[in-house]
Amino acid sequence: MELWLVDRHTDDLKVALRVQRTLFRRQSAYQLVEVVETAGFGRALLLDGVLQITEAEEFCYHEMLVHVPLGFHPRPERVLIVGGGDAGALREVLKHEEVREVDLVEIDQVVIEATRECFPRLAAAFDHPKVRLHVADGAQFIRERRDAYDVILVDSTDPGGPSLPLFTEEFYGRCREALRPEGVLSAQSDSPLFTAEVVRQTYRRLRAVGFPIVEVYVSDAPFYALGPWAFVIGSLRHDPRRVLPERVAGLRTRYYNPEVHRACFALPNFVRDLLSG
């Protein structure tokens, strides 16, 4: 009998992947953590049954979350990743030689254990000498930081459960306080097609907490929404659209490049309408 992983995008839309076997399954204090082997897309991580990554396409999301903000910040020496227990964003941050320290704050130790056991190539980033790994609540962690980071990346799950505080105006305000004078915040913000209100609220909240420059950019995230995926950037000084060639020269990437960087800020009309409404 065939087994299928069914990932529900909305009440009216589901995506299914054929599963060969289950590699990891453990209930944590926060969620059910599973890793399965799919027939066509490699290993896949699920949290409470919701697809987070597959080996075949995770680079699309992680490269765009990371290299857009790091591609225009002139000196991204200290980086904070909130969430990111699959280590994909961490892997991409470490491609930037200018980065001197990375704090990764993941609330769920079991997610880290699943990554170490089932995604060893990704998990290797945890042990890099530049990395400090914290098993902690990101919303609480950020309260204790002031003027500490050049770039903050919010690599959360969809809003709900343990990630819900990471979508609040209070959290974004704390992030702003934790940034240095040229700092940048980049947050994954869901689908402008299927969860439009998340995008709109994230955009408005970053403006409300005092970021002088707030922009939305879109990218592909094939299994997240079968359409564009949104990120919201808050910048304290620099224009996110202006990629610095010296910052991205020599990056080994499969999706991101300077042309994609500039193009991702060209928003479809329905996204422009969403932000202006």
- What pLDDT does residue 10 have? 77
- What pLDDT does residue 1 have? 64
What tens-digit pLDDT sequence spans the chain (277 residues)?
678 888 877 788 788 889 999 999 999 999 999 999 999 899 999 999 999 999 999 999 999 999 999 999 999 999 999 999 999 999 999 999 999 999 999 999 999 999 999 999 999 999 999 999 999 999 999 999 999 999 999 999 988 888 999 999 999 999 999 999 999 999 999 999 989 999 999 999 999 999 999 999 999 888 776 789 999 999 999 999 999 999 999 999 999 999 999 999 999 999 999 999 7
- What pLDDT does residue 9 have? 75
Burial (Cβ within 10 Å: 0-12, 13-18, ≥19) of residue 224: buried
Q: Which one of the listed residues 11, 155, 158, 190 is annotated catalytic?
A: 155
- Let me know if domain 3-54 sits in CATH 2.30.140.10: yes
Assess contact for 94 and 76: CB atoms under 8 A: no
Assess contact for 222 and 57: CB atoms under 8 A: yes
Annotation says 108 is catalytic: no
CA-to-CA separations, 13 to 51, 60, 73, in angstroms, rounded: 14, 22, 38
Q: CB-based contacts of 28: which residues, under 8 Å, 6+ apart?
A: 108, 109, 110, 111
Assess contact for 93 and 99: CB atoms under 8 A: yes
- What pLDDT does residue 7 have? 80
3-state secondary structure 109-159: HHHHHHHHHHCHHHHHHHHCCCEEEEECCHHHHHHHCCCCEEEEEEECCCC
* Reported pTM: 0.96
- What pLDDT does residue 214 have? 98
Domain residue limits, the chain: 3-54, 58-276
- What pLDDT does residue 2 have? 78
Assess contact for 149 and 183: CB atoms under 8 A: yes
H or E segment to which residue 198 belongs: helix 196-208
CATH architecture of 58-276: 3-Layer(aba) Sandwich (3.40)
